[in-house]
Amino acid sequence: MDLTVLALFGVAAAASLFMAWVVGAGSSGATPFAPAVGANAISTMRAAFVVGVFGFLGAVTQGANVSEAIGSGLIEGVSLPAAGVILVLTLGAGLMAIGIYTGYPIATAFTVTGAVVGVGLALGGAPAWPKYRQIGLVWVATPFVGGGIAYLIASVLPREDVPERFSVPVLAGVVGAVVVNLDFPMLGPGRAPGSLAERVAGVVAIDPTVAIVATTVVAGAMTGITVYRDVSRDQAGGLRRVLLGLGSLVAFSAGGSQVGLAVGPLLPLAAEIEPVSTFAVLVGGGLGILVGSWTGAPRMIKSLSQDYSSLGPRRSIATLIPSFLIAQTAVFLGVPVSFNEVIVSGIIGSGIAVGGRDVVDTKKIAVTVGAWGGSLLLSLVLGYGATLVLL
C-alpha cells in the first residue's frame, strides 16, 4: 500500500471527522429536539444524547445515497484527489465556522456542494447537469412544499371541529406508513437495500404490490390507533410523546442526509484503500455526528428551545412532519439538503397559519436566503480558485 496515499487519507479523514462534528453540533444535531425541549417534553442533555444516537443510526443506515452523490455525482470525468478532498472539507468547515462566528446562517449543504463543484471543475471535470437540475429543484421546492405542509397541519390542529384525538393520530398514521416504506440496508432481495414493506412482501404468498400496500395500511393504522389511545388518555402528555417520536425520526433523517456532506468527498479516496469500505466511512462519519451532538449540540439546543418554546407542541408537530418527509425524500434521491432551509420553511408555514403574514420577518428571510446563495457561490469560486493556485 502506498504510504503517501495512506497519509493523505488520514489527513482527509481527520478533516471529514471535524466536518461531521460540526454537522452534529450544528443545526442538524440541535434542531430535531429543540421543539421538544421548548415544550418541556425532555431535558436538554437527554435530548442531546438521543439526537446523537439517532443521528448515528441514520448516518450508518441511510447515509450512502447522499454520500455517493457528493463523492462522485456532482462532477463527471474526474475523481477528487486527496488534496482536493482536504481542500473541499477545509473550505466547507471554514465557511461554517465563519457563519457561526458572524451569526450568518451559512448552510453546510450549500458550502460543501459548491466547494466540490468548484474543485472538480478546476481539475478539468465536466458539470453533471442532470444532478444539478435535480438538486436545484429540491432546493427551490423545499420552502414551498415544507412551508405548505406545515401551514395545512398548523391550520387543522387548533380547530374545534377537528378534535386533536383524531387529527394527531391521523398525522401519526401517515408518518408510520412512510416509515415502513423507508429503505434500509439488506432488507431487499439478495440482501440489497429495501423497506420493511418490501421485506414482508417477499415472505408472504400474495402479489408483492398488494402485500406492500397492505403492510403500509396496517402500519399506518397501528400507529394511528396507538397514538389515538395515548392522546385520548392524556392529551398534553400524548402530544409531548408524539413530539419526541417526531424529533427522533427527524434526528435519524438528519443523520442520513447530512453525513454525506462530511464523508461524501472522502469516498473516492477511500476506494483506493482496499480495507476501507463505504460502510466503515459512514460509521466514522456517524461517530463524528454522535460526538458533535453530545458535546456541541446542548448549547445550541438550549438556545433554539427558547425560540421554539413560543411555538408550542402543535406548531412544533406541524414543523417536524414536513421536515421528516423532505429529509427522507432527499435521502431517497441522493440530494444534499440544508436542514436550516428545511426547518425554517416549516416554522414560517406554521407561523403564517397561526398569526398571519405579519409574523413573517421578510428582511430576515431575505438575509437568510442571501447567505445561503452567497455561501454556495463563494464556496464554488474559492474552490475553483484555490485549486488552480494550489493543485
The pLDDT profile of the chain, 391 residues, written as one tens digit per residue, is 567 767 878 888 888 898 898 888 876 777 788 777 877 778 889 989 999 999 999 999 999 999 999 988 999 998 888 888 888 988 887 887 777 666 666 788 899 999 999 999 999 999 999 999 999 999 999 999 999 999 999 888 877 777 888 999 999 999 999 999 999 887 877 778 889 999 998 888 788 899 999 999 999 999 999 999 999 999 888 988 999 999 999 999 999 999 999 999 888 888 777 777 888 999 999 999 999 999 988 887 777 666 666 677 888 899 899 999 999 999 999 999 988 788 888 888 888 887 776 666 677 778 778 888 888 999 999 999 999 998 7
pTM for the full predicted model: 0.91
**Which of helix, strand or coil describes residue 194?**
strand
Number of helices (H), then strands (E), belonging to the chain: the values are: 18, 2
Of the candidates 265, 222, 239, which has an alpha carbon nearest to the alpha carbon of residue 114?
265
- What phi and psi, each to the nearest 5 degrees, are found at residue 356? 80, 180
The span from the CA of 70 to the CA of 28, in Å, is: 18
Q: How far apart are CA 253 and CA 335, in angstroms?
A: 13
List the one residue out of 64, 239, 71 whose CA is nearest residue 157. 239
The DSSP-derived string for 305-357 is HHHHTTTHHHHHHHHHHHHHHHHHHHHHHT----HHHHHHHHHHHHHHHHH-G
Would you mind telling me the total number of residues written for the chain in this entry?
Answer: 391
CB-based contact 351:87 (threshold 8 Å): no
SS3 3: helix
